[in-house]
Amino acid sequence: MNWDETLERVRSAAEFCASAGLTRFRIDEENLAIEVRRSARVPAPVAASAAASPNGGAAVLPSTNGSTPHDEHPASVLKAEFVGIVRLSRPSVTPGTVLSEDRELAYVESLGIRNPIRSGGPGRISAVYVSDGEPVGYGQPLFAIEA
Amino acid sequence: MFKKLLIANRGEIAMRVNRAAHELGVETVAIFSEADRTSLHVRNADESFCVGPGPVARSYLNIPNIISAALISGADAIHPGYGFLAENARFAEICADHGLTFVGPAPETIASMGDKATAKAIMSAAGVPTTPGTDILASVGDALAAASDLGYPVMLKATAGGGGKGMRAVRTPEELEHAFATAQAEAEANFKDGRLYMEKLIERPRHVEVQIVGDSFGNVVHVGERDCSVQKPSHQKLVEEAPAPGLSDAVRSKLHEVALSAARAVRYASAGTLEFLVSGTDVYFMEMNTRIQVEHPVTEMLYGVDLVKEQIRVAAGEHLSFRQAALVPRGHAIECRINAEEAAHNFAPAAGTLSDVALPGGFGVRVDSHAYAGLAVPPFYDSLLAKIVTHGSTRDEAIDRMHAALGDTRIAGVNTTVDICRRIMRDPIFRAGGFGIDFLPALAATFASASAVAR
């Protein structure tokens, strides 16, 4: 993919993010990862990085957790995409944990495949909804993060 | 017997399987989409897993999530119900690969019967009468040549087809080119397989099917026939009954015998159905459905056997619990499918929220339904809301009982097929019995114009 195409992908991801009212949106592909983060107060800041993503399937689509455009720190909820068993990553996070950068919080083990759940950037964990070894279904909330 | 059964379906059939499993002392695991979170089938199961969002491709057809749910819940078997993954040979294989028993026939049987042209060839070789027809047609040119050999009218059919999709009746060579293109496109869109074959069109046939059940020890019985000639213009069934009215004993026994030899030919070890077209004293094999069917309760009411329990038993490696001689039909049974559909508008599906639901009951009335007041009918799925089945000592009694039961049925919030079913129960052609599959399209046309006048 050339740079123009990449920019176009980022632009359409940002537009989608805004139109769907999402605060975070991430696409993981074989040789490209696009992440869009949007604060409700400032125009959508955009980050894109070309990175080898070992598992392209674990896109996480956070939703705004009842946040309004006036929320100081809108929380987004990371949900399970796969039916499987949650394995919390070390060091495990608890409510109040501050993350300085994107990291793996857990993975959902499904049919022997690890599907990583990433924070998507820095933030503060405001809730952990699951415990290590717990079975989860599709769409089940795992973590809430404040930007 | 199994310890725990995952039911890979939704709605009334998931509830039907859940009941059978609980009667057998088997624990159940339900799966559901985000659109079905509040469904009864979820509430009645012992455990449940959300497997995806509303659209079927991401939930009820999401094989990895379904298999994962079965494995982490400790299920040892999966019942597919009907539709969705019920006739997916690859899914049956994947179940086996993960040590899960698929409640159905062997994957090879599903695959060979799922390909209509292959199924026909196998049945023909087993001495089962089939409709004169062709192999896969490579081009419109082939189709034109084949049609002039067979003689018009002919029927184009998708080899991967079902539910009336990818089928076109063609009466003249001029119609054929367009019909070929549209049937191919429809088959490609619905089944990702645009291959077509052609059959001689049997005019005004009756649709009669035979229920069979086999076990893994080579025992196989037939559980009589069902008449499913009341079909929408899309060829989907609306009313089914057993026994088929007005069939001579000779034709009836021929159907039963042919079905048994067909089942033996593929060493069938589950519940299944052979569909036939009947025209006069001629019977033609149409297709074999390698699953439990929507209309199975009609047979259960007539013979007093539980087909779903039997299907689970034989899947668990048990012997058939009844012999042919013990299977005696008693009286007559009819089923009406209550769908969320606009009968006056070519049975277009209707979505909405059920504001009021009152279902019938009483002597000789059975209702299989997942409907309740407040249920949101999602746009993603089959429109079936309830199956009302009546049993009577005679056909007339079963029909009158159905007419009364439909009169007691109240479903508000979406349009349903209750009214047209009630109209059918009072129709002189229906009451006489023995009509062809052209019956309902003709009646539906008058129903539509009557509704237009009433407005």
> To the nearest whole angstrom, how far is the Cα of A100 from the nearest Cα of chain B?
32
Contact B258, B275 (CB under 8 A): no
Contact B389, B239 (CB under 8 A): no
- pLDDT for the residue numbered B351: 87
* Extents of the domains making up chain B: 4-103, 132-200, 206-454
Q: Is B171 a catalytic residue?
A: no
Q: Which two structure tokens, joined as six digits, stand for B90?
A: 């690859």
CB contact under 8 A, A135 and B52: no
Report the distance separating Cα B4 and Cα B2, nearest Å: 6
Comparing CB atoms, the residue among B34, B64, B72 nearest residue A135 is: B72
HEC string of B5-73?
EEECCCHHHHHHHHHHHHHCCCEEEEEEEHHHCCCHHHHHCCEEEEEECCCHHHCCCCHHHHHHHHHHH
Which residue out of B68, B71, B98 would a mutagenesis test of the A interface target, given it has the greatest number of A Cβ atoms within 10 Å?
B68
DSSP 8-state secondary structure symbol assigned to residue A93: P
Mean pLDDT across chain B, nearest whole number? 95
Comparing CB atoms, the residue among B51, B72, B73 nearest residue A138 is: B51
Other Cβ atoms closer than 10 A to B253 = 11
Phi, psi of B264 (to 5 degrees): -65, -35
Other Cβ atoms closer than 10 A to B388 = 26
- pLDDT for the residue numbered A69: 43
Q: Which residues pair with B410 in a beta bridge?
A: B358
Q: Which two structure tokens, joined as six digits, stand for A140?
A: 């089940």
Q: Which ranges of A20-135 would DSSP assign to H, the alpha helix?
A: none
Beta-strand relationship, B154-158 and B168-170:
antiparallel
Report the distance separating Cα A23 and Cα B237, nearest Å: 48
- pLDDT for the residue numbered A2: 65
**Residues listed for chain B:** 455
Helix %, strand %, coil % of chain B (to 5): 40, 25, 35
- pLDDT for the residue numbered A44: 36
| Yes or no: domain B4-103 corresponds to CATH 3.90.1010.10 | no
Q: Which two structure tokens, joined as six digits, stand for A136?
A: 């989860």
Burial of B55 (0-12, 13-18, 19+ CB in 10 A): middle
Task: Put the strands of the sheet holding B271-279 in their side by side order.
Answer: B282-289, B271-279, B206-214, B220-231, B237-242, B332-339, B384-392, B365-369
User: Which residue among B16, B168, B226, B291 is the active-site one?
Assistant: B291
Interface list for chain B against chain A, based on CB atoms closer than 8 Å: 34, 48-53, 59, 62, 64-69, 71-73, 98
Comparing CB atoms, the residue among A83, A85, A135 nearest residue B51 is: A83
pLDDT band (50, 70, 90) for residue B7:
very high
Q: Which residues of A touch B59 (CB under 8 A)?
A: 138
Nearest to B385 by CA among B405, B367, B369: B369
> To the nearest whole angstrom, how far is the Cα of B339 from the nearest Cα of chain A?
29
Query: Does an H or E element contain B108, and which?
Result: helix B107-114
- For B185-200, what is the mean pLDDT? 90
Query: Which A residues, 61 through 100, put their C-beta within 8 Å of a C-beta on chain B?
Result: 82-85
CB contact under 8 A, B49 and A83: yes
Which residue out of B29, B72, B91, B100 would a mutagenesis test of the A interface target, given it has the greatest number of A Cβ atoms within 10 Å?
B72
Report the distance separating Cα A137 and Cα B347, nearest Å: 35
Inter-axis angle of helices B89-97 and B63-73, nearest 10: 30
Report the distance separating Cα B304 and Cα B318, nearest Å: 20
- Tens of pLDDT along B239-295? 999 999 999 999 999 999 999 999 999 999 999 999 999 998 999 999 999 999 999
> To the nearest whole angstrom, how far is the Cα of B324 from the nearest Cα of chain A?
43
Which residue out of A55, A136, A138 would a mutagenesis test of the B interface target, given it has the greatest number of B Cβ atoms within 10 Å?
A138
Task: Put the strands of the sheet holding A98-99 in their side by side order.
Answer: A63-64, A75-79, A141-146, A123-128, A98-99
Q: Which of A45-49, B186-190, B339-343 is predicted with the least confidence, judged by mean pLDDT?
A: A45-49
Report the distance separating Cα B239 and Cα B217, nearest Å: 34
CB contact under 8 A, B52 and A138: yes
Q: What is the CATH number of domain B206-454?
A: 3.30.470.20
Comparing CB atoms, the residue among A84, A111, A139 nearest residue B34 is: A139
- pLDDT for the residue numbered A67: 39
Tokens 């080579």 belong to residue: B218
- Show pLDDT as tens, one digit a residue, over chain A (147 residues): 566 777 777 777 777 666 666 666 677 666 667 776 665 433 333 333 333 333 333 334 444 444 344 445 678 999 999 999 999 999 999 999 999 999 999 999 999 999 999 999 999 999 999 999 999 999 999 999 998
Report the distance separating Cα B258 and Cα B284, nearest Å: 10
How many contacts, defined by CB atoms under 8 Å, are there between A and B?
A: 44
- pLDDT for the residue numbered A52: 35
Query: Does an H or E element contain A79, and which?
Result: strand A75-79
Q: Which residues of B touch A84 (CB under 8 A)?
A: 68, 72
Q: Is the dihedral of CA A26, A28, A29, A31 positive or negative?
A: positive
Other Cβ atoms closer than 10 A to A132 = 11
Q: Which of A48-52, B201-205, B281-285, B304-308 is predicted with the least confidence, judged by mean pLDDT?
A: A48-52
Between A67 and B25, the more confident residue is: B25
- For B403-421, what is the mean pLDDT? 97
- Tens of pLDDT along B139-151? 999 999 999 999 9
- For B17-22, what is the mean pLDDT? 98
Amino acid at B77: A
Q: Which residues of B touch A59 (CB under 8 A)?
A: none
Nearest to B41 by CA among B61, B12, B63, B66: B12
- pLDDT for the residue numbered A137: 98
Tokens 């087909």 belong to residue: B307
- pLDDT for the residue numbered B394: 98
Asked if A123 has any chain B CB less than 8 Å from its own CB, the reply is no
Where do the domains of chain A lie, and which CATH numbers do they carry?
3-146 (2.40.50.100)
Q: Which CATH architecture has domain B132-200?
A: 2-Layer Sandwich (3.30)
Torsion of CA B41, B45, B50, B53, to 10 degrees: -10
CB contact under 8 A, B68 and A83: yes
| Per-position DSSP letters for B277-342, written without gaps between them | EEETTEEEEEEEE-S--TTHHHHHHHHT--HHHHHHHHHTTPPPSS-GGG----SEEEEEEEESEE
- Tens of pLDDT along B87-131? 999 999 999 999 999 999 999 999 999 988 889 899 999 999 998
Report the distance separating Cα B266 and Cα B289, nearest Å: 13
Other Cβ atoms closer than 10 A to A74 = 21
Contact B205, B278 (CB under 8 A): yes
Asked if A126 has any chain B CB less than 8 Å from its own CB, the reply is no
Mean pLDDT across chain A, nearest whole number? 75
Residue percentage of chain B with pLDDT more than 70: 98
